[in-house]
Every structure is written in C-alpha cells, then in structure tokens.
Structure 1
Amino acid sequence: MDDETWQAEQFERQRPQLHAVAYRMLGSLSEAEDAVQETWLRLSRSNDDAIGNLGGWLTTVVGRVCIDMLRARQARREDYVGTWLPEPIVSVEDSDGPEQQTLLADSVGLALLVVLETLTPSERLAFVLHDMFAVPFEEIASMLERTPAAARQLASRARRRVQGSATVPDTDLATQRKVVAAFLAASRAGDFDALVAVLDPDVVFRVDTGSHPRPVPALLTGAVDVARQVAVQGPRFAQHCRPALVNGTAGIVARTSAGLIAVAGLTVIEDRIATIDLILDPDKLHNLVLVD
C-alpha cells in the first residue's frame, strides 16, 4: 500500500468524528462537509512524517477551519430577516428501531445548537471539543494559541450559558412524541386552551425564514403569545404536518404537493414544550438531508 492510499484510508476512518465536530461547531451540514473537505486538502499537502497523532492533528485542523468559517460568515447574517437556525437532521421514519435510537444518541438538539450560536468562536470550540468530545484543554489551548487555563475558562463560560437555557429534552422518546402529538392536535383544531396546556409557561418560539420575508414573527416567548399565534395560523398549516425526528428528538415536518415547506424542532421538558424552532428558509429545506 502506497503512502497516499494509506493516508486516504486513515482519513476516512476519522471522517465521522470530524464531521460530528464540524456540525456542532457550525450548525450546518453543508458547511461541516466543507470544513471536513478543507481538512482533507490540508492533510494531503502536509508532511506525514511530522504528524505523530493523526486523529489529534485532524481534530486540531478541523477546529481551526471551523473557527475561520464562523468568523467569516458573520457578515452574511445581515441578509437574514428572521432568526438564524441550524440546518436540521431529519428522519421521517416513525418506528423505534435501532437506526432511530442511534440517531437519537448521536444527534445534538436544535435548541443546543441555537445556544452555541450565541457563543464566541473560541468559547464554542472550547466547549464543543472538551465537553462533547473530551479533548484535553492542553490541546484546545494550542488551537486557540492560549494557555490551558484560558481554554478552561472559555469552556466554563460557555457551559454556564448552555446550562442556563432549555436545551436538554426529556430522554423518553415516547413521551416526547405524545406531547408533540397533543400539540399537533391542538394546532389543527385552533384550540387555544389546549395549546397553552402543552406549552411551557416560558416557551420560546423561533422562526427562521432566511432572507425571504414571511408574515410571521421571528421570535415569540411565553405560552399565551405562542398559543395565540399558533391558534390563528395552526389550523391551515398543521394539516400539512406529520411527526418526525428532528436532530434525534420528536419534531414535525410539513409537506405539500410542492414539497417540504417546514421543519420544526421541539424541546420537550417535563412533559411540556420549552422551545419550538421552526425552519421556513427554503434554501435550508432545499438542501435538507432526510434520513428514512
């Protein structure tokens, strides 16, 4: 086996891990794939003899690539009309088979990705690599050109932000689906009281329309305001909806004869919906990967 073939095989073994890191860093499947591809290009131009730990080297490179991409895309957000939401991972299969359980275990919820988006690129890198992938602070520090103590502080700040938000759903998928089903039934009926009953009093409703203006609020908070909005818009919209797994938790997809028109990720905490992340951006929906 020649060196080039060996290098390609080793990279492919690391690809799932690299893609997982990049998706958590970027909240975008397409950008994550771009980051992984850039990492491969840098590996192909590198000196193999200078790489002692290939896995660590690749993680370092993809982390640095993601930081550069996070910084570069900030200007593009000026075109956004609503709230920016991550690109979701959606499964339309209703069974509880092993594939679904794997998806549930491997996914990170939309609500968490939204919170990660509020962090600085350095905070996000420190939190994602340390708290999600157990990368030592010594290695993270070298990526950020800071001391291990400074990297630890970045992760700590990020952790406090995450822990202060509704990002961890109930672990029982059956319970999640029951709550989402009740929400859909109340939405189809336009039943305000039933909607309030299934929503957390402090529910947060975010809408991503991309650069395409829509007559919907970008952000609503509180069960009364969210229920009022859904009770008015819900009966017409909900007839196109069906349950799905969105980033490993119970969610909703909406389809018409024209195709996919919406994806909603819901965070169910203590049998009530704490966050609703509704993606209407046709650009994201057009590129969406559906797992059957």
Structure 2
Amino acid sequence: MPLTMDDVDLFEASRPRLEAIAYRLLGSASEAEDAVQDTYLRWQAADVDGIEVPVAWLTKVLTNLCLNQLTSARARRETYVGQWLPEPLLAGDPMLGPAGTAEQRESVSYAVLTLMERLSPNERAVYVLREAFAYGHREIAEILDITESACQQIFHRAKKHIADGKARTEIDEAEAKRIVEEFLAAATTGRTEPLVRLLTADATAIGDGGGKIPARTKAFEGAVAVAKFMRGLFKPSQAKRVLVGGSPGVYATTANGDPAIVAVLDGHVIGILCLEVTAEGIASFRNQVNPDKLERATQQWAASDHGEPLLIAF
C-alpha cells in the first residue's frame, strides 16, 4: 500500500534524528545519508498501519542497517590506503545532532568518533543510543534483540574503552578560535619551541588522505616530533602550492565541537585539521584531507559566513 502524505511527513520529521544516529555509528556523512535512505525504502515497503510505534520501528531498522554496514566496513578498512579517520562535520551541521548535554557533545567529538573505531558494532550502537540519544537499556535491548542485562554490560564495557582515551576539555567557539590562532602563530614562526609549549608531552598527529592526497600513514608521536611536523606543514613552498593547486586560505572554526583549522581553495574545503584539547595542552591533531570526506564540509562552508582567512598558506 502506498505511503500517505502523513506517513511521508512522519518519516521526514524523523530524518534529522536518524541521520545524527547513523553519522555517529558510521563516522561518515555520505554513508549515514545512504543508511537513512535505505530505511525510507523499508518504511515505504512496510505495512505502516500495523506499526504501533513508528519512531521505534525506524530506529531499529536504521540501527540494524548501520550494524551491517559496520561489519562490512571493518573489512573495507583493512584495505584502506593509509589511516582511516572519520568524516569531520563543521559547526552548524544538523547531522551533528543533539548537543544539549555534555554526554551528547562528547559522543560526536572527533576524538570519540575515532576511539569508537575500537568498539564492536554492538558496543558502538549501545554507546551511541544510550549516551547521545538517552535511550533506556530496555529500549536498546529491543532494538538489538539482546537482553537488558547484556545491554547494560555492553554499555559499561564501551564506556570504559572510550574513557581510556584522554579527558577532553569542553570549549566554546570563542575559546576554540583563540586556541587555533595561538597555534597558527606558533606554527608559522619557523621554530619548534613555541609549538612544543602548546602540546602535551605525548601529543600525536595523524592524517587521512585516502590514497588520493599524500598523508602520513603512521602517527607522529611526542611533542617534539609533532612540533617539527607542524612547523613543516605550515612552511611555505612551491611544491605544496603545485600539489594543492594554489595557496589556500586558512580559517579557524570548530568541527565536531572541537577547535579546527579549515583550508579552503577556490571555495572547496581541501583539509580540516582537528585539534584535541585537554587541560594539559593540545593532545592530538587529526588531519582529514581525503576529498571524498570533505564534500559535505564544502557544502556547509559555502552556506556559512566565515569572514576573512587568518592567513594564506604556502
């Protein structure tokens, strides 16, 4: 039986929440959109009149689609060229989802999305649904077809894995911009000492080029090694200009709620450098330069007011 306009409207009202769940589960905006579209196709084929709680039904279908995707994604990432990092989302992107609590903001931070790669698909689903969307253990157990006690155990295990990472410091947009400006000022001096003072002793830096853009496949580790890398990254050179096709503008913003540096060339976002900040300093840099993972950011950038660049790179 074809969907009525009310059925379509109900789905569209649920779409933002479904996309936000899928993005947290998959770490990819494009894959999240595909999962939500597949959910719509199943909604379209279902006996909608016989579904007692449509929102719960849609969440279950979406979650299980994402679990299947995560299982196959693990195999694909084994053959991924270089380091796999999540797709960053710029400030204001509706796919970031709810941000009313510290737990919700934490669950979509770039650091936590990266840490969630260590979790099993079930651990990831339980963590996201509980921490970011406040589902009860009974509801999650019904979605995943497990017992409530198993759900609680999985959640505690997932939280422990996430908590093993560094303690993130919550930062507002003004503070994020100040941190980025301070970092860029240090990175463009041509010296490592000012950079080292901003970093934690065990700071790391990694990049994701997807085999399309040169990126470091093994992390730089330690404040001195990271500082040297960052000094070189922001050092002007003709080779870099040739590689990227010009001199990009560099802006301060936030991505996934964290301080971020965005490089833009001819209206296209060509790189997002996400900074993980702790009370001790900048703990890590995650640089996304894979063009496949910057398409949504480019769309968001074109629709936002971002002012003048802090500097012109290279």
TM class, shorter-length: 0.7 to 0.9
1:290 maps to 300
- 4+ residue runs over 6 A deviation: none
- d(CA) in 2 for partners of 1:177 and 1:152? 39
1:96 maps to none
Report SS of the residue matched to 1:251.
strand
- Is contact 1:22-1:62 (8 Å) kept? yes
| Residue identity matched to 1:245 | T
Matches within 5 A, 1:225-244: 225-236=225-236, 240-244=249-253
Corresponding position: 1:44 with 2:44: yes
1:268 maps to 277
1:173 maps to 173
Where do 5+ consecutive residues of structure 2 fail to align?
241-246, 305-314
- Is contact 2:88-2:256 (8 Å) kept? yes
| Residue identity matched to 1:71 | T
Compute the displacement of 1:21 (Å): 0.5
2:112 maps to 112
Compute the displacement of 1:70 (Å): 0.7
- d(CA) in 2 for partners of 1:28 and 1:282? 13
| Residue identity matched to 2:115 | V
1:239 to 1:256, Cα distance in 2 relative to 1, 3 A: closer
Compute the displacement of 1:127 (Å): 0.5
Mean Cα deviation higher: 235-244 or 192-201: 235-244
- d(CA) in 2 for partners of 1:104 and 1:57? 24
Count residues with an aligned counterpart.
283
Deviation string, structure 1 residues 153-175 (Cα, Å, up to 9, x no partner) = 11111101111212633333322
Higher relative contact order (CA 8 A, sep 6+): 1
1:72 maps to 72
- Is contact 1:241-1:255 (8 Å) kept? yes
Report SS of the residue matched to 2:73.
helix
Compute the displacement of 1:3 (Å): 5.5
For the aligned residue pairs, the C-alpha RMSD in angstroms reads 2.5
Deviation string, structure 1 residues 126-172 (Cα, Å, up to 9, x no partner) = 11001111112122223322211111111111101111212633333
Mean Cα deviation higher: 264-273 or 219-228: 264-273
- Is contact 2:207-2:217 (8 Å) kept? yes
Where do 5+ consecutive residues of structure 1 fail to align?
93-98
Deviation string, structure 1 residues 213-262 (Cα, Å, up to 9, x no partner) = 62635312221110121122322279742212212332101123584321
Give TM-score, length-normalised by structure 1: 0.88
Give TM-score, length-normalised by structure 2: 0.82
